[in-house]
Copies of this chain bind each other. A is one copy, B any other.
Amino acid sequence: MAREIKCIGVMTSGGDAPGMNAAIRAVARACAYYNVRCIGFYRGFQGMIEGDYIDLDARSVRNIISRGGTILKSARSKEFRTKEGREKAANHIKEIGVDAMILIGGDGTFKGGKVFYEEFGIPVIGVPGTIDNDIAGTNFTIGYDTALNTVIDAIDKIRDTASSHDRLFFVEVMGRDAGFIALNSGVGAGAEEILIPEEDLGLDRLLESLRRSKRSGKSSSIVVVSEGDKIGKNVYELADYVTENLPDYDVRVTVLGHMQRGGSPTCFDRTLASRLCVNAVELLLDGHKNIMVGLINNNVAYTSFEEGLKEGHGINKELLRISDILST
């Protein structure tokens, strides 16, 4: 039988994502609603290890729903990968009186949570917060939609100058292991080509595609490249290669970088964070644990950590096809 939950802890971990504050707010407000104490730990697992925390009541999360970043800060903790580190965390949590934890982060965070639950029996629920969208147990992670819009805003600006000067731009976006951001922002920005880790387009096909673009009357082009693209060259090498082989093109490179992690979250990310976190609190109160919550077919659903981490839901290959047709 589930121990009664009187105090819930919350933290944000891994790469930060827009909407993490909306998530923290939802945890704190749902706790207040159900008369449960809410404790926020700073810098993810590290704050649990160090006992670095703050009490969160309904008013202390006022007006943060619209803010990027995370008021609880985030970090990757090496110490938590050791048994000693996790033991310190468990001890602090018990001392403070925290009965269960909500972990907001990506797959690394969930793996940590799973081990932590297995070792110490502290109920844990994971909420997917990462711009990378690479978590199997949800169709969308918190922060992903905002990152997409940050990327297309930047590419729209780059398109302005690309068109004015008849240039070809390579734009590198985040996504070391997954091409979600590149693929969706590429379609949204109307990119001529999209290079992602999941598909090896090959250099020859890229050159051919760019030649065809030129022939079809396009004077400027955008190629969106995922960090972890399979083509085996980084974005600057790619640009050099194309310059050598297609001297007609005036080539430039932009690496969008960390601005993709910030900014005021979109309505989608705020609403997603709100729904998932209210449900996470309620699931803990109902005795659930060792699961992640996610949005599946527009409904909140939960999955065991095992399932949720199994393998990422694949990218939508249909979008590659759409992109091909639309770059006609």
**Contacting pair B160 A262 (CB below 8 A):** yes
Within 8 A of B (CB), among A5-38: 12, 16, 18, 20, 25-26, 29-30, 32-33
**Contacting pair A160 B16 (CB below 8 A):** yes
Tell me, yes or no, whether A59 is within 8 Å of chain B by CB: yes
Tell me, yes or no, whether A326 is within 8 Å of chain B by CB: yes
**Contacting pair B18 A160 (CB below 8 A):** yes
One of B166, B185, B298 near A267 (C-beta < 8 A): B185
Interface size class of A (residues with CB under 8 A): 35 or more
Report Cα–Cα, A26/B252, bound state, in Å: 27
Tell me, yes or no, whether A204 is within 8 Å of chain B by CB: no
**Contacting pair A278 B157 (CB below 8 A):** no
**Contacting pair B328 A267 (CB below 8 A):** no
Q: Which of A70-78, A82-90, A195-203 contacts B (4 or more CB under 8 A)?
A: A70-78
**Contacting pair A268 B268 (CB below 8 A):** yes
Tell me, yes or no, whether A108 is within 8 Å of chain B by CB: no
Residues in chain B near residue A148, CB distance under 8 A: 267-268
The interface bits of chain A over 111-154 (1 if a CB of B lies within 8 angstroms of the residue's CB, else 0) are: 00000000000000000000000000001000001001111101
Report Cα–Cα, A160/B327, bound state, in Å: 25
User: How many Å from the CB of A295 to the closest CB on chain B?
Assistant: 10
Given A165-B74, A274-B326 in contact, is the A158-B259 Cβ separation under 8 Å? yes
Assembly of this chain: how many copies? 4
Report Cα–Cα, A25/B323, bound state, in Å: 12
One of B73, B169, B252, B264 near A166 (C-beta < 8 A): B73
Residue of B with least CB distance to A219 = B73
Residues in chain B near residue A262, CB distance under 8 A: 156-161
Report Cα–Cα, A275/B67, bound state, in Å: 26
Report Cα–Cα, A145/B159, bound state, in Å: 19
Residues in chain B near residue A245, CB distance under 8 A: none
Given A25-B326, A328-B29 in contact, is the A161-B261 Cβ separation under 8 Å? yes
The interface bits of chain A over 251-271 (1 if a CB of B lies within 8 angstroms of the residue's CB, else 0) are: 011110111111110111011
Tell me, yes or no, whether A98 is within 8 Å of chain B by CB: no
Residues in chain B near residue A322, CB distance under 8 A: 26, 274-275, 278
Tell me, yes or no, whether A243 is within 8 Å of chain B by CB: no
The interface bits of chain A over 201-230 (1 if a CB of B lies within 8 angstroms of the residue's CB, else 0) are: 000000000000000111000000000000
Known: A63-B159, A160-B261. 12 other contacts (CB 8 A): A59-B216, A59-B217, A68-B156, A70-B164, A73-B163, A73-B165, A149-B267, A154-B259, A169-B258, A190-B270, A271-B319, A297-B297
Which 6 pairs from chain A and chain B are nearest by CB?
A157-B262, A160-B262, A68-B160, A69-B160, A188-B267, A297-B297
